[in-house]
Amino acid sequence: MNFKEKLLTAAHANKSWLCVGLDPDISQFPEKIGRDAGSILEFNGAVIEATSDLVCAYKPNAAFYEAWGARGWEILVETVKLVPKNIPVILDCKRGDIGNTARMYAASAFEAVGADAVTLSPYLGRDSLEPFLCYRDKGVFILCLTSNSSSADLQKKIVLIDEPPSVGAMTPQSKARTLAEFFNVSTVELYLYVARLARQWNEGDNIGLVVGATSPLQLEKVRKEAGQEMPILIPGVGAQGGDLESALENGSNGRGELAIINVARSIIYAGGVKEYPGGIRRAAERYRETIENILNKKKR
């Protein structure tokens, strides 16, 4: 079973496109479980136990573990082991490096950590993804349009698909025609170009995209560019303020599938100290049900 099959199987079994972000911040932990590195594993275990029948995936962000150094990497590995075998784990590590180095990151994520999928930056191009893609049963989510406010700095720059024609050799008439044709046909924003490349590179059916819920209109364009069969991982709902309904409307395919809604803080700290861990389950239930209702409405 490859990553996409595992994802779809979990989503159907739990009737859920909710992904819970395992981003432990000890300052938010209930006092009774302690506030040191050792308490992270207990906390993650409680989150997983409270939600594993309500999700399609878990997404630990590597930074929250790396910040604890060597001990953090042990906790990450142990956390992944706590996830039931039928639920895929997406390691959000946003790596991207050249050939022999990318191979080491792939071995780290897929073998040492045991993740089912990773997030990667597209900036270094195709050969930086290959060492991950050659694990045919694993998944790769390429950063497309992120949920932070500076995402437009590069991701929304307009890129020329083809080289511009040499203008010196053209008549005024042909220049004018070229201008119109050129601007209408052959330009695209960088994030959409990344989506187009991702589709071209997806021979192994193991590529997905990351698009923030904070950009609902752009999400619709990405779904169109990526086609109906590519998973889109959507962070930014909840604490970051993205709208859940528009994210699902625009991000899911015609069958109401493959839009993976990631929620971290609004679930794992829900109810605060008082309701731990019952508040976590109730928040996950609410998200799962809201997502299901929106998707059912879309399918009708």
Q: Mind telling me the catalytic residues?
A: 94
* Cα gap 219→165, rounded to integer Å: 31
Residue 191 amino acid letter: Y
Residue 9 CA to residue 241 CA, distance in Å, equals 29
Question: Least CB distance from residue 179 to its own copies, whole Å?
Answer: 4
CB 224 → its own copies: shortest distance, Å?
20
Distance in Å, CB of 125 to its own copies, minimum: 3
CB atoms within 10 A of CB 266: 16
List 22's β-bridge partners, or say none: 60
For residues 247 and 136, give the distance between their C-alpha atoms in angstroms, rounded to a whole number. Answer: 28
Rounded distance, CA 179 to CA 182, Å? Answer: 5
Beta carbon of residue 37, minimum distance to its own copies (angstroms, whole number): 12
What does the block give as tokens for 205?
């059916």
In whole angstroms, the minimum distance from the beta carbon of 119 to its own copies comes to 9
Least CB distance to its own copies at residue 1 (A)? 26
Positions that interact with its own copies (CB under 8 A): 23, 61, 63-64, 66-74, 77, 94-99, 101-102, 104-105, 107-108, 112-113, 121-128, 143, 146-155, 157-160, 163-164, 167, 172-173, 175-176, 178-180, 182-184, 187, 190, 193-194, 197
Question: Which C-beta is closer to its own copies: that of 121 or that of 253?
Answer: 121
Tell which residue, 8, 16, 9, has the closest CA to residue 262: 16
C-beta closer to its own copies: residue 31 or 153: 153
Q: Which residue has the tokens 């180095």?
A: 101
Closer Cβ to its own copies, 31 or 166, answer by number:
166
Q: What angle do CA 65, 214, 15 make, to 5 degrees?
A: 75
If the CB atoms of residues 69 and 272 are measured against its own copies, the closer one turns out to be: 69
Q: Which is nearer to its own copies, 1 or 104 (CB)?
A: 104
> Closest CB to its own copies among 235 and 256?
235
